[in-house]
Structure 1
Amino acid sequence: MGRNNLLGKWVAGPRGRWITLLVWLLAAGLLSALLPSENGQEDNGAANLSASKPSVQAAAVAYEEFEGGADLPALLVWHRGSGLTDSDLRNIQELSAALTASPVPHQTGVPPLQQLPLESLKAQLSKDGTTLVTAVLFDPKADADGLKKGVDQLRKQTGERFGQDPFAAGADASDGLSARVTGPVGIRIDATGLFQNADFTLLMATVLIVLILLLLIYRSPILAFIPLVAVGIAYGVAGPILGWMAGEGWIVVDSQSISIMTVLLFGAGTDYCLFLIARFRQLLKKEQSRSAALRAALSGSSGAIAMSGFTVVLALFSLLLAQYGAYRRFAVPFAIAILVMAAASLTLVPALLAVIGRASFWPFVPRTPAERAERAARQGKPAPAPGKERRGWIGSLVVRRPWTIVLVSVLVLGALAAASTQIRFTYDLLSSFPKDMSSREGFELIGDKFSPGELAPAKVMVDSQGKDVSKLADDLRSQDYVSQVGEPAKGRIHSDIVSLDVQFAMNPYSAEAMDRIPDLRRAAEDALSQAGVKDAAEHVWIGGQTAEQYDNKTTGDRDTRVVIPVVIGLIALLLLLYLRSITATVYLVLTVILSYFSALGLGWLVVHYALGADAIQGAIPLYSFVFLVALGEDYNIFMISSIWRKSRRMPLRQAIQEGVGETGSVITSAGLILAGTFAVLASMPIQVLVQFGIITAIGVLLDTFVVRPFLVPAITALLGRRAFWPGKVREPSGDRANG
């Protein structure tokens, strides 16, 4: 308590408030001026898989042994509804010749279509003669921005060659020539572009939703801007720090993490601000001195704010244990942003409130009874009657019917959680794109006019060790999930290494194709074993987009098994240290876990039945878990802190009733704002963000309106003094907390 009073005296004091405000403004200004911004340090081509993963090892073998073996193909899908003309095909050949003579940025190769007779090129058309797929190969080490620069130059050359830009033509044009870029290059460019374009939109939408909700809840324009100003200044401090760390090579930031970090910072940051603001407003109705009220508010809420922030920071840092690159890239930027925001909530926000004072709540300024009476006297009005202490009906219901509350809550949440067992997952990024994206339109044309497996064939490579493996192609071709096997090619350095391009009989980005990677590997190993190659498993490599996707899944599954127990353990340890109660720690953690699975189940019902999605992105459960468990525990910490504090001077049941009532409005406000900020993601044209936003927003609302006001206090009421075990609480005589 002494330390909190010291902090309050400093940041809310006559001079300290101005110094605190000046320090934050100088920090944001100087850091922004001297250090690079995080947006300028984006690396959207960072690898998600380590060099030890099978698909990465296969890519290394392909790069070393086969010309263009590891290059990224940009598939150009040419289409004319009435049929491609000879003139179209000659233009395509001339474009191939131009790209051979003058490659675009990061281009590594292009098939010499100009050397083919026109009739040979016609043989590659779709059966109805409307569609042709050609390829341009790019450097696999190029990032998305570099690939986009190359493709943009390709489009420019195409427009000059054709006299029009077929990439701008509608894909469903009945007679005009259209072109689309798909395949690994097109997908990567479109994915990065969607996230980059989302940055500003997300920022503006998040600020707007927070501002509107604050105005509706508190009806004070000044108060509505205080959290936004604090978050903005905190962002001005955190952003350059992250940009500097990225510039030094200590961390990697990408457009996806920056987009979601913006939402998290405004949502969680506003919550922390409201914890203090709500307490300050309560005390202003009892304390005439605004400085004393602010110091008391900071003393009463700083522990919960610090604990909440620290919980989220540790949960986010646990992502450093993940092997999947996208998970690891979230850890440091998010944790630092929350750490800076928590510090701003404990210093900058009190300083702003100290400067503005009671006017922060204008036009509904909270006043003491004496101030209201004096104000009425000056206006010649009768003194207002003393306000009655409001007793929340939820708190009363919880202490009167705890068993009913617990049973109903558990049944409802349990039923929703059961729906999570029906979830189907996908690792197909293409399916999350809007239907009018170039890469998705091109893929659908390929699937309609050709075999969808042509989009991304798997590259099967084996080391024959000098044995005859001529039957390998036939063995692979005999598999029911394979539609076509290309001609074998020998390694340029080691001639014993043989490569075969294998096309799947289904969408190569689908879960069905991904699950066939182990089968494909076994088929190749069996063929090697039959040829007399010993230790066949060590001499098979499978590369390509489907194999990479399979490694993404297995790595993500491993990370889920590791990270989730660590997050639960860290949060449990922090709760134990803060509350000094094993019992409370156990049921607080269990209720948040139940809430998480309920959110996952209800989110699936919404995404699947309301939005028509067949599956959700495979990375969403882990992301949602880290955010929901860490953020959901914030509300429990804030409420249980109030109950613990009150239980020292009143019967436990009364403490529960008043604690629920005291924290109810602020937690409801905070929950609505946090859910609203995550719901902003649902307005984005990217399904992975839509699904993540919906599930996380649902989880926050369940915590806000079910777990925090009903389930947790009801369990506390049922346990009575045992809720403090092994700690002890001095209860006034007459308490019947154990009921």
Structure 2
Amino acid sequence: MGPVAEARREAEPERGGPPPDGAGDGRAGGRRLPWAVVALWVLVVALALPFAGKLGGETRDEAVDYLPGSADSTRVQQLVEELPGGDTVDAVLVHHRDGGLTAADRAAAAGQVRRIAAAYDLTGGDAVPRTVPSKDGTTLMTPFSLTGIADEEAQIQAVTDIRDDLGGTPDGLTVEVGGPGALQTDMEAVFGSIEGTLMLGTALVVALLLILTYRSPVLWLVPLVVVGAAAVVSMAVVYGLARGADLTVTSMSSSVMTVLIFGAGTDYALLLVARHREELRRHRRPYDAMRAALRGCGPAILASSGTVALGLLCLLAADLNSSSGLGPVGAIGVVCALAAMTTLLPAVLVLLGRRVFWPLVPEYGVEPRPRRSLFTAMGTSAGRRPVTVLAAGTLLLGTLALGATNLPGPLKQEDTFTDRPESVTALETLTAAYPGASSQPITVFTHDAQADEVARLARTTEGVADVREGRSGGGWTAFDVFATDPPESAGEKDTLRALRDRLHAVDGADALVGGPSAQQLDLETTNGADREVVIPLVLVAVLLVLVALLRSVTAPLMLVVAVIASWGAAMGLGGLVFGPVLGFDGLDPGLPLLTFVFLVALGVDYGIFLMHRMREEGLRGAPVSEAALTALRTTGGVIASAGIVLAATFCVLATMPMVMMAEMGFVIAVGVLLDTFLVRTYLVTSASLLMGRRVWWPGRLSRAERARETGDGGRGDAG
């Protein structure tokens, strides 16, 4: 054994010989504390498990849960549900034959319409719904509204039953059920398939990557089990808040929370396990090694989770309901992951001892054989030509960001799914068969006293084809307004704006203009306004955390600029892939804001891991150039593993059958990989080398570095 190991053995004298591996440090705290922590977590998980399983029943995916809180369309949707007839399910029966409908087709269609009228209560009494033939003779459109079905599940079941009862049509005649009720049914079917698939897929991906990372038959299972415990607890907490505090939880926010827990939680585990392995070579007892590991990387993990949680909580300032609800749900997941990774994981690792690392067991006093790693080579290349590396990397990111000019336009309702369900194909059939007229009404509400004036102004508004009075109640009257342009087209949006300008001006009417197309317009408008509010909040929150951790202004600014560059490049790659490769016809309006929040918060994580280790080396007296390369060499592998795990978990999200989730998963995964292998590895390292001590300005470490450079003996407090 070398002199260093001998010195360490003398510094830590054996008291009757070392305890059995994994038995602790020989003190009561070393023996009892890990067992107490594990027992506490077992109790918490056991109590949380029944409630976690109920979270799926609390998710809400109605239109109002995704709409802006203050928009016309949101208030209209609320009135539709509150007024008499609010339990109405609006749908449309679509019969189509490419070569033109036959007499048998028309007879079969009429029979199916009569069966629906006989089986369900329809608005308008016992009258059979009116069928509207297309001018080209290929299509029949029969709008109808089911009433008297208050329960949402029963409404969905009714649409499903109607679809199942549409058999017996002549060969070649297609019959589909479309409309808002059918769209909601299809969305529920998709959301219902997401939860279990996403959880299982994410767990399998994380397990595979941990096996490849650790190359151990046991070690990979420890972080996975701990992440699972964090997921159970977070789901129970969110369920409790949804029930007790009326927290809005959508299937999207629940899915994102799952990905965050597995991705961020595994990242923290990778950092802690790597540091624990390092400290086991310096400490004889696992308990002491873990204490040193937590002291070393604990601040970085805390700051990392803090940036993510604070960044997500900034979404509370968003007016969009789905965004503001996502903030606390995601933050709960991150906090639970942090708690598990800083308490349960250390306790389990201490109890299992060194043998959990088998076959690559870290031995006390034995330093690993130096070898030239990939990140050593990367650091060397950045150190030799920092200006070239920084300029080339910046140019590459800027070039990729130009792809954002090719991003598709706003996502339409019919483009929401990666596959086209029946409600979408029915709408496409109607759009093609009834050109020049909208098959999707714009809903207008007004107070009864001004109903005639509002109806008159609506009929004379440019772009309006027809106005029909709907139901009324509670002092309100509703109208269905049909535009001359197709749903969600530029022409219909102009009509919506014109209607709002004219009807809002009617004194005392309190006129509201809503409906599916108005909802999409409000989503676009509100997301733009939310970006102006939330993005500055996120940047300020992240900067404050970084300044507090790194005791510097320059380094935090550098990290934030770097991660913004990663986000821009990832969005640019999305522009090159979404339409041309994946065939997505639209971009979800909330994508830029949500991906920015996630990439800034999550991307800064790796900067924290790197710069915190660099600061540690600086406090030990290493100059900036040496500290930067040492930090890259020691943390590069962990950052790479963490980045791959996080990107892989969001890739699972990208496989979900919703365009929004697929787009979000792609952008975040690509952004994380760019940040991991280009920005943190090359650009941050080369920029740090070029700035030298100024990277820590105005902190004391920058002055201590200057003192070393000027030969003052390194005096001064570098804390």
TM-score (normalised: structure 2): 0.86
Report the residue type matching 1:720 in the other structure.
G
Q: Distance in 2 between matches of 1:209 and 1:356?
A: 24
Deviations 1:247-273 (A, max 9, x none): 224312222222222111111110010
Residues 80-229 of structure 1 mapped to structure 2, 5 A cutoff:
80=97, 84=101, 89=106, 92-93=109-110, 95-97=112-114, 99-100=116-117, 102-103=119-120, 109=123, 114=128, 121=131, 124-138=132-146, 145-155=153-163, 158=165, 164=167, 175-229=171-225
Task: Report the CA distance shift for 1:658/1:195 in structure 2 as closer, same or farther (over 3 A).
Answer: same
Task: Report the CA distance shift for 1:165/1:635 in structure 2 as closer, same or farther (over 3 A).
Answer: farther
Contact 1:155 1:165 in 2 (8 A): no
Q: Distance in 2 between matches of 1:561 and 1:716?
A: 31
* 2:651 aligned residue: 679
Report the residue type matching 2:622 in the other structure.
M
For residue 353 of structure 2, give the secondary structure of its aligned residue in structure 1.
Answer: helix
Residues 78-477 of structure 1 mapped to structure 2, 5 A cutoff:
78-80=95-97, 84=101, 89=106, 92-93=109-110, 95-97=112-114, 99-100=116-117, 102-103=119-120, 109=123, 114=128, 121=131, 124-138=132-146, 145-155=153-163, 158=165, 164=167, 175-368=171-364, 370=366, 387=370, 392-451=376-435, 453-460=437-444, 472=457, 475-476=460-461
Contact 2:315 2:324 in 1 (8 A): yes
* 1:514 aligned residue: 493
Q: Distance in 2 between matches of 1:434 and 1:141?
A: 30
Find out whether 1:664 has 2:636 as its counterpart. yes
Contact 2:550 2:556 in 1 (8 A): yes
Q: Distance in 2 between matches of 1:424 and 1:537?
A: 40
How many residue pairs match? The answer is 682
Q: Distance in 2 between matches of 1:679 and 1:11?
A: 45
Q: Distance in 2 between matches of 1:636 and 1:393?
A: 19
Task: Report the CA distance shift for 1:10/1:82 in structure 2 as closer, same or farther (over 3 A).
Answer: farther
Q: CA deviation at 1:55?
A: 2.5
For residue 31 of structure 2, give the secondary structure of its aligned residue in structure 1.
Answer: coil
Task: Report the CA distance shift for 1:10/1:662 in structure 2 as closer, same or farther (over 3 A).
Answer: farther
Match of 1:53 among 67, 71, 78: 71
Contact 2:88 2:145 in 1 (8 A): yes
* 2:92 aligned residue: 75
Find out whether 1:595 has 2:566 as its counterpart. yes
Contact 1:635 1:708 in 2 (8 A): yes
Q: Distance in 1 between matches of 2:30 and 2:471?
A: 78
Match of 2:482 among 487, 502, 505: 502
Report the residue type matching 2:537 in the other structure.
V
Q: CA deviation at 1:691?
A: 0.9
Match of 2:694 among 675, 697, 722: 722
Q: CA deviation at 1:57?
A: 4.2
Q: Distance in 1 between matches of 2:176 and 2:25?
A: 61
Report the residue type matching 2:397 in the other structure.
L
Q: CA deviation at 1:716?
A: 1.7
Task: Report the CA distance shift for 1:624/1:366 in structure 2 as closer, same or farther (over 3 A).
Answer: same
Match of 2:466 among 485, 491, 515: 485
Q: CA deviation at 1:111?
A: 7.7
Contact 1:514 1:549 in 2 (8 A): no
Deviations 1:562-585 (A, max 9, x none): 111111111111111111211112
Q: Mind listing any 5+ residue stretches in structure 1 that lack a counterpart?
A: 1-6, 167-173, 373-385, 526-533
Deviates more, 1:705-714 or 1:282-291: 282-291
Q: CA deviation at 1:515?
A: 5.0
Contact 2:500 2:513 in 1 (8 A): yes
Match of 1:711 among 678, 683, 689: 683
Q: CA deviation at 1:17?
A: 1.3
Q: Distance in 2 between matches of 1:566 and 1:44?
A: 27
Deviates more, 1:589-598 or 1:67-76: 67-76
Match of 2:592 among 604, 610, 621: 621
Q: CA deviation at 1:293?
A: 2.3
Contact 1:285 1:367 in 2 (8 A): yes
Report the residue type matching 2:162 in the other structure.
L
For residue 485 of structure 1, give the secondary structure of its aligned residue in structure 2.
Answer: strand
Report the residue type matching 2:632 in the other structure.
V
Task: Report the CA distance shift for 1:638/1:184 in structure 2 as closer, same or farther (over 3 A).
Answer: same
Deviations 1:225-262 (A, max 9, x none): 11110110111211112112212243122222222221
Q: CA deviation at 1:10?
A: 10
Task: Report the CA distance shift for 1:596/1:516 in structure 2 as closer, same or farther (over 3 A).
Answer: farther
* 1:688 aligned residue: 660
Contact 1:97 1:112 in 2 (8 A): no
Deviates more, 1:276-285 or 1:387-396: 387-396
Task: Report the CA distance shift for 1:59/1:616 in structure 2 as closer, same or farther (over 3 A).
Answer: closer
Report the residue type matching 2:589 in the other structure.
G
TM-score (normalised: structure 1): 0.84
Cα RMSD after superposing both structures = 3.5
Contact 2:68 2:74 in 1 (8 A): yes
Contact 2:60 2:250 in 1 (8 A): yes
* 1:567 aligned residue: 538
Contact 2:538 2:597 in 1 (8 A): yes
Q: Distance in 2 between matches of 1:468 and 1:37?
A: 49
Report the residue type matching 2:48 in the other structure.
L
Report the residue type matching 1:574 in the other structure.
V
Q: Distance in 2 between matches of 1:635 and 1:425?
A: 33
Contact 2:85 2:148 in 1 (8 A): no
Residues 36-51 of structure 1 mapped to structure 2, 5 A cutoff:
37-45=54-62, 46-49=64-67
Q: Distance in 1 between matches of 2:455 and 2:397?
A: 58
Deviates more, 1:683-692 or 1:417-426: 417-426
Contact 1:294 1:354 in 2 (8 A): yes
Match of 1:636 among 598, 607, 610: 607
Contact 1:79 1:132 in 2 (8 A): yes
For residue 310 of structure 2, give the secondary structure of its aligned residue in structure 1.
Answer: helix
Task: Report the CA distance shift for 1:474/1:618 in structure 2 as closer, same or farther (over 3 A).
Answer: closer
* 1:171 aligned residue: none
Deviates more, 1:270-279 or 1:401-410: 401-410
Q: Distance in 2 between matches of 1:227 and 1:140?
A: 51
Deviations 1:64-87 (A, max 9, x none): 99x869955211212345655556
Deviations 1:584-614 (A, max 9, x none): 1222212111221121112221213322334
Q: CA deviation at 1:618?
A: 1.0
Report the residue type matching 2:460 in the other structure.
D
Task: Report the CA distance shift for 1:679/1:492 in structure 2 as closer, same or farther (over 3 A).
Answer: closer
Q: Distance in 2 between matches of 1:713 and 1:140?
A: 66
For residue 280 of structure 1, give the secondary structure of its aligned residue in structure 2.
Answer: helix
Q: CA deviation at 1:501?
A: 2.1
Deviations 1:649-670 (A, max 9, x none): 2122101110111110000000
